[in-house]
Amino acid sequence: MTGFGAPAPAPAKSQSPSDVDGPRFTPCPTNRLLLVLHVAVAMVQFFVLPLFLLPLDIAWALILLPLALFNNPLWSLIHETVHGTFDSHPVQNRAAGRVLAVCYGAPWRILRTGHLLHHRFNRSPLERPEIYNPGETRWPIAAGKYYFQLFVGLYLTQILSPIAFFLPLRTMRWARRRFVAPDSYNGYAATTLLRPRCVREVRIDGAAILAVLCLSAFAYGAHLWMLGLVLLTRGVCISFLDYIYHYASRTDDTASAYNLSLPAAAQKMLLNFNLHAIHHRHPQAPWHQLPALFENNGDRFSGTYVHFALRQMRGPVPRTYRDASWT
């Protein structure tokens, strides 16, 4: 998750994933099988369908519909690598994350930095993307920005941001000093990402993503619109479902999040991502151990996943809102 970063005072220091007290957790043994599954899905979307299936029958394009269900589970597995819970070996964890992120369409280092900043600044003045100040911004302006971010803006930002990293490092650092407030969300992100090692990694992964997309576009040929549909569908799925766990939740609390109920199969497919309040309190816990923490802590669901997804359509929330009135 990422934020919009208007300059604001930094919130009180919050716990990072490595700072949380509690038992040691073990990565799920099926993570590598899930890695293979998601890479296979990406291969079908980008290459197998246009090169082998479409020449047989255009009706094979319908396979893209069920494959769209893997968009958010792909992010859930990347999320495990972000928190270091995919694999107990850091090198293998990072390698898995980078491979999955190429399938996703954005460099892992960018996704990791953005998400860890989300844990640091969640519901602080630096990350309240749905809240606006009526005294400073008219509702139509706030609504335009909000709905763009809700429907595709988040994913679009993730996949386009690597372009800037192909500029000279000196130019990027000049632009940061000139245009980015150091105490903003983007300022903190730039401080991390503009280190030489990070820039090098983003460039390598960005080039890999560009190569995959260019080769896939060539493979689709006259059916290029299908590749566009794949990316557009992913953008909508990722962007629309990203902030349902925090929309109009309690502010000034980095652990503020909702647990949302889902059918058992859907919950497992999302790697228990819907147990989001538990995740924010135990970010070092791997996905397969979240249900036990949910039960042991006596947690409850705030509502259904579908209801909390649709309630985002209410739009921007005035700064003076009361949490309970928006549930």
pTM (global) more than 0.85: yes
Any residues with CB less than 8 A from the CB of 41 and at least 6 apart, and which? 67, 70, 74, 103
Measured in whole angstroms, how far is the alpha carbon of residue 305 from the centre of its chain? 17
Average of per-residue pLDDT across 140-150: 97
* Rounded CA separation 289/285 (Å): 6
Average of per-residue pLDDT across 97-114: 98
Q: Is the pLDDT of residue 216 over 50?
A: yes
Strand partners, 131: 317
pLDDT at residue number 321: 64
Measured in whole angstroms, how far is the alpha carbon of residue 67 from the centre of its chain? 18
Q: Is the pLDDT of residue 320 over 80?
A: no
pLDDT at residue number 135: 92
pLDDT above 70 as % of the chain: 91
Per-residue pLDDT band for 24 (boundaries 50, 70, 90) equals low
For 267-312, what is each residue's pLDDT tens digit?
A: 999 999 999 999 999 999 999 999 999 999 999 999 999 999 999 9
Count the Cβ atoms, other than its own, within 10 Å of residue 129. Answer: 23
pLDDT at residue number 322: 57
**Residue 317 backbone phi and psi in degrees, to 5:** -110, 130
For 84-103, what is each residue's pLDDT tens digit?
A: 999 999 999 999 999 999 99
Per-residue pLDDT band for 21 (boundaries 50, 70, 90) equals very low
Q: Which residue has the higher pLDDT, 24 or 183?
A: 183
The structural domains of the chain, with segments of one domain joined by +, span 31-241
* Rounded CA separation 267/304 (Å): 12
Q: Is the pLDDT of residue 190 over 80?
A: yes
Average pLDDT, the chain: 92
For 228-271, what is each residue's pLDDT tens digit?
A: 999 999 999 999 999 999 999 999 999 999 999 999 999 999 99
Residue 101 tokens read as 């992120």
Task: Please list the alpha-helical segments (H only) found in 83-195.
Answer: 90-104, 108-121, 139-148, 154-160, 169-179, 185-193
Q: Report in angstroms the alpha-carbon separations of 121 from 10, 37, 111, 231.
A: 8, 33, 15, 29
For 27-79, what is each residue's pLDDT tens digit?
A: 999 999 999 999 999 999 999 999 999 999 999 999 999 999 999 999 999 99
pLDDT at residue number 324: 42
Count the Cβ atoms, other than its own, within 10 Å of residue 216. Answer: 22
